[in-house]
Amino acid sequence: MSLVENTLRSHLPALKTTSNGWLTMNCPMCIQNGQSRPDTKKRGGLKFEQERVGYHCFNCSYTTGWRPGQRLGFKLIKLMRVLGIDEGEIQRLKIQLWDQVVEDDTVIEEAYKKPAWLEIQWPWTVRELNLEAAEYLDSRGIIELSDWYTSTSPVQGMDNRVILPYISDGKIVGYSARWIGDVPDKKTAKMVTSRPPSFVFNLDHQSHSRKYTIVTEGEYDALTLDGVAIMTNTISPEQAKIIEDIDNEPVVLPDRDKAGLILAMQAAELGWSVSFPEWPDGIKDANEAAQQFGRVAVLQSVLSAIESSPLKIKLLCRRWCV
């Protein structure tokens, strides 16, 4: 019996076994996975076979598993937490398994599913960066981190904006266009965006081989840390599922303001970790921090300040998100 199977069995009640070997239970993940009501028809199934572990819910489609040579994925960790397994026991199990992880990615890697967002065409003519746009992006430290465009179109002031394409599977599915400098009046929007529902920015750069997926509000912060961005301070159920399907541990880095409090509290409710790096006062987000300290130092500060306890997150975010 594997360490993972032993841990799960020791925290499970007596369960009915089907003819094909599935242990059936009321799925504890249905509400968190977008269902309107809890499972009462035992649609969750857990199976142990040749030291492998598999879980699938036939109601909310929550699926996870583990096999020898593989690290403990976040989705299985989340299931363990909901089943009442202590955080300390989960962390000990992760450490015990780490020495057994097979380094050959072709053995342990599995593709995760992304939505098939529709390709769009630019609504105006785009061109390569002009000098003003290049200087702005260079000042933000992100000019080399993506493809960027400008436009000659006066529509919505596009001729004074720097345009970031939203890419999924090599296709343009949306964009954000930021005004260069201060907007001239209250009628001019600082940002003009177009994106598909539930879009998560920078998914193409994520990998199963990573330990964490850093989740930020803004695209510039995601580029700075090579994480993902949700482009708001609330995570939709669809975005949460997309991020969790990567099966790395999500680590939310909220902006250091009152809006970030909402995101941090939501992360705690989702069972995600949150990072509260010790940055000087006046620094609001990762991109601002990187302009002062560099991207590598900022990433290290984020990883060293990860908190996974929901109670501690709720206490810390009231000091951080002000």
Q: Is 151 helix (H, G, I), strand (E, B) or coil?
A: strand
Q: Is 275 helix (H, G, I), strand (E, B) or coil?
A: strand
The CATH number of residue 279's host domain is 3.40.1360.10
Print the domain residue range for 280. Answer: 203-320
| Cα angle for residues 251, 287, 264 (degrees, 5° grid) | 35
Q: Looking at the 3D structure of the chain, how many domains does it have?
A: 3
* Residue 49 within any structural domain of the chain: yes
* Residue 81 within any structural domain of the chain: yes
187 with 208, same domain: the answer is: no
172 with 263, same domain: the answer is: no
187 with 209, same domain: the answer is: no
283 with 235, same domain: the answer is: yes
64 with 133, same domain: the answer is: no
Picking from 194, 219, 241, the residue at the C-terminal end of a domain is 194
CA 192 to chain centre: 23
Strands (E), 145-303: 150-151, 161-168, 171-179, 191-194, 212-216, 228-229, 249-253, 273-275
Assigned token pair, 267: 């992360």
172 with 210, same domain: the answer is: no
193 vs 232: CA distance, rounded Å = 12
- Each residue's pLDDT expressed in tens, for the chain with a length of 322 residues: 899 999 999 999 889 999 889 999 999 999 888 788 999 999 999 999 988 999 999 999 899 999 998 888 889 999 999 999 988 899 889 888 877 776 544 434 444 567 889 999 999 999 999 999 999 999 999 999 999 999 999 999 999 999 999 999 999 999 999 999 999 999 999 999 999 999 999 999 998 778 899 999 999 999 999 999 999 999 998 899 899 988 899 999 999 998 999 999 999 988 899 999 999 999 999 999 999 999 999 999 999 999 988 889 999 988 888 7
Picking from 168, 194, 220, the residue at the C-terminal end of a domain is 194
pTM: 0.83
88 with 148, same domain: the answer is: no
Other CB atoms within 10 Å distance of the CB of residue 53: 21
19 vs 288: CA distance, rounded Å = 58
* Residue 261 within any structural domain of the chain: yes
* Residue 114 within any structural domain of the chain: no
* Residue 82 within any structural domain of the chain: yes
Q: Is 242 helix (H, G, I), strand (E, B) or coil?
A: helix
* Residue 286 within any structural domain of the chain: yes
54 with 148, same domain: the answer is: no
211: nearest Cα among 43, 94, 87, 114: 94
281 with 184, same domain: the answer is: no
104 with 133, same domain: the answer is: no
Q: What's phi and psi for 294, nearest 5 deg? A: 95, 150
Picking from 194, 228, 247, the residue at the C-terminal end of a domain is 194
Question: Parallel, antiparallel, or unpaired for β 249-253 and 212-216?
Answer: parallel
99 with 15, same domain: the answer is: yes
* Residue 61 within any structural domain of the chain: yes
Identify whether the C-beta of residue 130 lies closer than 8 Å to the C-beta of residue 104.
no
* Residue 119 within any structural domain of the chain: no
207 with 190, same domain: the answer is: no
